[in-house]
């Protein structure tokens, strides 16, 4: 395989509409067409087979190096045979660091530099530092500390980042000056991949208006040659808006999480399986079951079926978004979607307040 240094990610642009863009970036294990999603794979629990996910169009995935490192069995296999062999996928794989686990469960047991080194050792295509998760209810001081400590942690692995793809999360909670500062720090650093972090609570609470502020302030202060990823942002309802504001990549565990709770993803929202009378004709389940049969499946089988439906809904939406950018009708698409949920309408009105800024890029970016 080529030296990792030859494979530092930079965006190659193919089409643009405002800040939205269709592009491609290379990794040591192949390229990714953007906008795109990395489904979250738990190395311990396989809900869908990699083959099935590839048939749906999966080009890349994300898994958690913290989970791998904590399990002696997974750790040994990953160090011996590599991450790609462990997961059973030879395309681009990004690894997360355990930051989210430390946010959910408290402190994690590993340190930043060895967390990154472990990801390099198992041949991750994009490795993530142990950033500090800034939550929406942080005080200004807490959020500022998160931004500064995340910067220190990136600096601590600067030498590694010169030769490998390091993901440098943009933090800063709901404070826009901090988001702008964090975006500039990460853009000027050797990190080649920029996720917007600390937004899962906002996504879960449908606080899309605040997300618009965060995304646009992060994006406009970022190096446009580095892909922007929205951590946890893979709900089909919000993806088109995020792309309109310049997000290139998403990840999602929601296709499984919702499936576990008997919930189904649709382009405009989520429905409980119990409420469904007719399955949509586009669903990959349509030819296999009717709604009644689906409800009567055993728990595990039902979870797998719903996860397949949910991931398919995400890929279907991404295909539509890319097509809209090619035809330069993403604005109209986002506007029509805004009518499907009050929080999306709030977010759309927020986007309009930035339209002057966004239009500047429309002129610059004509095909
Ligand atoms: N997953 C969801 N949010 C985050 C975040 O802010 N940082 C990292 N590393 N992973 C995440």
pLDDT in tens, 300-332: 999 999 999 999 999 999 999 999 999 999 999
Share of the chain above pLDDT 90, in %: 89
Per-residue pLDDT at 360:
82
Q: Are 87 and 93 a contacting pair, CB within 8 Å?
A: yes
Residues in the chain: 367
CA nearest neighbour of 41 among 5, 77, 103, 94: 94
Give the DSSP H/E element, type plus range, for residue 271. strand 269-272
Using a 6 Å cutoff on CB, does residue 247 contact ligand 1?
no
Q: How far apart are CA 97 and CA 144, in angstroms?
A: 21
Using a 6 Å cutoff on CB, does residue 172 contact ligand 1?
no
The mean pLDDT of 62-79, rounded to a whole number, is 97
Banded model confidence at residue 191, pLDDT cuts 50, 70, 90: very high
The atom number, within ligand 1, closest to the CA of 133 reads: 6
Banded model confidence at residue 364, pLDDT cuts 50, 70, 90: low
The atom number, within ligand 1, closest to the CA of 198 reads: 6
Q: What is the DSSP code string of 31-98?
A: EEEESEEEEEEBTTB-SS-HHHHHHTT---EEEEHHHHHHSHHHHHHHHHH-HHHHHT--S-EEEE-S
Interior CA angle at 142 toward 136 and 148, to 5°? 110
Q: How far apart are CA 220 and CA 361, in angstroms?
A: 10
21-25, 52-56, 102-106, 254-258: the lowest-pLDDT one: 102-106
The atom number, within ligand 1, closest to the CA of 97 reads: 9
Using a 6 Å cutoff on CB, does residue 18 contact ligand 1?
no
- Does residue 242 carry a pLDDT above 90? yes
- Does residue 240 carry a pLDDT above 70? yes
Using a 6 Å cutoff on CB, does residue 102 contact ligand 1?
no
- Does residue 108 carry a pLDDT above 80? no
- Does residue 362 carry a pLDDT above 80? no
Banded model confidence at residue 365, pLDDT cuts 50, 70, 90: low
- Does residue 269 carry a pLDDT above 60? yes
- Does residue 1 carry a pLDDT above 70? no
Cα 154 to middle of ligand 1, angstroms? 15
8-state DSSP, 287: T
Using a 6 Å cutoff on CB, does residue 98 contact ligand 1?
no
The mean pLDDT of 206-225, rounded to a whole number, is 97
The SS3 of residue 324 is helix
Per-residue pLDDT at 39:
98
pLDDT tens, residue by residue, 125-134: 999 999 999 9
8-state DSSP, 125: S
- Does residue 361 carry a pLDDT above 90? no
Q: Are 212 and 180 a contacting pair, CB within 8 Å?
A: no
Active site residues: 96
Per-residue pLDDT at 367:
47
Per-residue pLDDT at 363:
62
Pocket test for ligand 1, best of 37, 67, 171, 198 (most atoms within 8 A of CB): 198
**In whole angstroms, how far apart are CA 96 and each of 1, 129, 267?**
23, 8, 27
pLDDT tens, residue by residue, 142-172: 999 999 999 999 999 999 999 999 999 999 9
């Amino acid at each position: 395989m080529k030296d990792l240094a030859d494979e530092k990610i930079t965006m190659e642009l193919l089409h643009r509409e405002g800040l939205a863009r269709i592009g491609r970036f290379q990794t040591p294990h192949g390229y990714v067409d953007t906008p795109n999603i990395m489904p979250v794979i738990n190395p311990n629990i396989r809900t869908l087979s990699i083959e099935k996910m590839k048939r749906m169009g999966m080009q890349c995935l994300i898994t958690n190096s913290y989970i791998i490192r904590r399990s002696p069995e997974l750790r040994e296999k990953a160090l011996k045979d590599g991450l790609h062999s462990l997961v059973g996928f030879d395309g681009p794989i990004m690894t997360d660091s355990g930051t989210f686990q430390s946010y959910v469960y408290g402190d994690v047991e590993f340190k930043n530099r060895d967390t990154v080194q472990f990801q390099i050792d198992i041949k991750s295509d994009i490795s993530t530092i142990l950033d500090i998760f800034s939550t929406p209810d942080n005080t200004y001081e807490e959020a500022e500390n998160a931004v500064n400590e995340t910067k220190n942690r990136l600096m601590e692995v600067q030498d590694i980042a010169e030769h490998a793809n390091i993901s440098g999360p943009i933090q800063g909670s709901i404070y826009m000056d901090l988001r702008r500062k964090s975006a500039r720090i990460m853009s000027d650093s050797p990190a080649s991949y920029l996720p917007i972090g600390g937004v899962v609570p906002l996504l879960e609470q449908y606080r899309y208006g605040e997300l618009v502020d965060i995304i646009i302030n992060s994006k406009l202060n970022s190096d446009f040659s580095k892909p922007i990823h929205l951590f946890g942002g893979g709900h089909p309802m919000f993806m088109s808006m995020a792309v309109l504001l310049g997000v290139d990549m998403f990840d999602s565990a929601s296709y499984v999480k919702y499936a576990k709770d008997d919930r189904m993803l649709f382009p405009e929202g989520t429905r409980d399986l119990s409420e469904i009378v007719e399955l949509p004709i586009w669903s990959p389940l349509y030819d296999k079951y009717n709604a009644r049969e689906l409800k009567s499946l055993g728990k595990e089988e039902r979870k797998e079926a719903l996860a397949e439906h949910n991931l398919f809904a995400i890929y279907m939406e991404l295909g539509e978004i890319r097509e809209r950018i090619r035809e330069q009708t993403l604005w109209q698409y986002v506007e029509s979607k805004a009518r499907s949920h009050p929080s999306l309408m709030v977010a759309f009105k927020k986007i309009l307040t930035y339209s002057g800024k966004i239009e500047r890029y429309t002129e610059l970016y004509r095909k």
